[in-house]
Structure 1
Amino acid sequence: MAVTDFTHCDAPALNVFFRAHYDGGKGERQGGTHTLQRNLRPFFKWLSDEYDHPSPYDDPRLQRYAHPTDVRPTTLSEEFIHDLLQITGGGNPRVRAFEKVRDHAIIRVLTEGLRAEELLSLRLDHLHLSDGLVGPVTPLKEARASGEGRFVPLQPKTVVAITRYLRARDSHKRASDPWLWLGTRGRDKLTYSGLYRMLNRRAADAGYGNPDDPESKSIIHPHQFRHTYSHDLLSAGVSEGDVMTLAGWKDPSMVRRYAADMATSRAHSAAQKLGDRY
């Protein structure tokens, strides 16, 4: 039977489509089909939300194509972070839904290298957006009793994301609470488990992993953003000493530990930038 519109595009029909793509592809066919399947998931979710028609991605009969290197990395790829930001609205000012605006802002703040504890402990009086800073965040490890803390510089897009979240936050029934990040459905302060679930839910929304498979639910954890932050700074030529200061470390071994998985890549890039030396 010929497919006439999306209501006929159910799980069996998609299985035929994805299998044909897999069999007809070249090179890393499994990875290419995984990418196609991941990219179509938000489209069918939108159709489901708009037309109240069951999404084939919710059907257990849908065959899943995993990425050939579907192993959770220590450092997150640029594509992965970009997909998380896009699935939460991409910074579009027309997106007003509290949960999307909040999640987008949280993901952007995580890219600034804060620990999960530091992010969740942020209060409204920690914001210094006119200066592009938040702080002082949770005191440095081994210095908590002294009341020390550090200020974290924010990228311009992170400042914009927080500003938009604050506008959405004003309509929350717990808006008078001091904590920056509030829960959905009128709940108070966001917890670590809530943060963890949110990130993995957004990863699934973006097409990473199968949310119906218990083994695929732990696609990402908050601390991976901190590893990625260290790698990004070192790749940009920031000195180890400055990375230590920005991240709140006292021991240089922490810099090497957090960015170890991409050390070879950075070394190769540095050597290639030298060009022809003789």
Structure 2
Amino acid sequence: MNIFLKEYLNVLRLEKNLSVNTISSYRNDINSLINFLDSLKINDPSLVDNKLLNSFFINLQELGLSNTSAARYYSSIKGFFSYLFSNKYIKANPVEKVMPPKLSKNLPSVLSLGEIDSILLKPDVENKLGLRDRGILEVLYACGLRVSELIGLKISDLFFDEEIIRVLGKGSKERLVPIGSSAIKWTKEYLTKSRPLLAKKAKSENVVFLNNRGSKLSRMGVWKIVDQYVKEAGIQKEVHPHTFRHSFATHLLEGGADLRAVQEMLGHADISTTQIYTHIDRDYIKQVHKQFHPRG
């Protein structure tokens, strides 16, 4: 597949005279599909059908990628297969049987990098709760955690020297997730300066993020923290803790990260409707996170 992609990109550059940025965007989008197909042991474009392509787009949707971005993926992939078909590399164009993503008004809300930064800068880190809140926001965005995963984090789940954390996800499935240097810095500050002031032996139970009474934070507690700083940042769109998870996935994918690596970071075990699951090397996932996450 990579040979065909290289040929196609050369045509775009030499014959279509497209810009470097546009060609890079095409490359990232089509590479995401190729990585998806590789995970299913498919490397012959003639074996790709509309069911596989639909499965790929369903995965993009589940990862929180906006329909606008999915539409761009569709356009890139359509152009690629149209090229293969017109040059008789394949007998039929599978994209013709795939409906393009609909641009709906009810898109999952995704924060821009500027909005993320403005929210992260709002907590007063000189205050014990403000420092805790900075750590919470940093970890939500750095690791793409569900709220239940965040509030369940234990100190024994933090492996900062290895730049990973252990997360207990849905169905009590454990996974290891990379954590960037910024989130490590602020979580360490919180653990050193704030948590000792909040902790109470009988209640704290080794939990990382505590409420003002020394107990584990509730889901609603995290919701209120996010809502407070979103309002303080003057952001008008609807934002909740899961928005950070959507933004995490979207920013990684739009930066060119491997779909399967993002899938594993989020704890989505099934990458296709056939439920084929391939384990990715932990070092590779860390490399993808460091390379493509804006705060990696």
Deviations 1:117-162 (A, max 9, x none): 1111101111111111110x114x4x53xxx411111110110010
Please say if residues 182 and 190 of structure 1, whose CA atoms lie closer than 8 Å, have aligned partners that are also in contact: yes
* Structure 1 counterpart of 2:177, one-letter code: V
Q: Which amino acid aligns with 2:258?
A: S
Identity across matched positions, percent: 28
Contact 2:198 2:211 in 1 (8 A): no
Note the C-alpha offset of 1:96.
2.9
TM-score by length of 1: 0.54
SS of alignment partner, residue 231 of structure 1: helix
**RMSD of the TM alignment (CA)?**
2.4
Note if contact 1:174-1:182 (Cα within 8 Å) is conserved in structure 2.
no
- For residue 170 of structure 1, give the secondary structure of its aligned residue in structure 2: helix
What is the aligned counterpart of 1:132 among 134, 139, 163?
A: 163
The residue matched to 2:260 in structure 1 has which SS? helix
When normalised by structure 2's length, the TM-score is 0.51
Offset of residue 236 of structure 1: 2.1
Aligned partner of residue 150 in structure 1, secondary structure: strand
Say if 2:242 is the partner of 1:228: no
Q: What's the secondary structure of 1:134's corresponding residue? A: strand
CA drift of 1:77 comes to 1.6
Cα distance between partner residues in 2 of 1:157 and 1:228 = 17
Structure 1: distance between partners of 2:219 and 2:158: 20
What residue in structure 2 maps to residue 166 of structure 1? 191
1:114 corresponds to which of 145, 151, 159 = 145
- Write the distance in 1 (CA, Å) between the matches of 2:208 and 2:255: 30
Give structure 2 stretches of 5+ with no counterpart. 1-105, 274-296
Deviation by residue 1:183-213 (Cα, 9 ceiling, x = unmatched): 12x341100001101111111122235xxxx
Larger relative contact order (Cα-Cα within 8 Å, sequence gap ≥ 6): 2
Task: Mark the CA change 1:114 to 1:173 in structure 2 (over 3 Å): closer, same or farther.
Answer: closer
How many Å separate the matches in 2 of 1:199 and 1:108? Answer: 11
Asked if residue 88 in structure 1 is aligned to residue 123 in structure 2, the reply is yes
- Which of the pair is proportionally richer in helix? 2
CA shift, 1:73, in A, is 5.5
Distance in structure 1 (CA, Å) of the matches to 2:257 and 2:271: 14
Structure 1 residue ranges without an equivalent (≥5): 1-70, 90-94, 210-215, 255-278
Contact 1:72–1:220 (CA under 8 A) maintained in structure 2: no
Aligned residues: 165
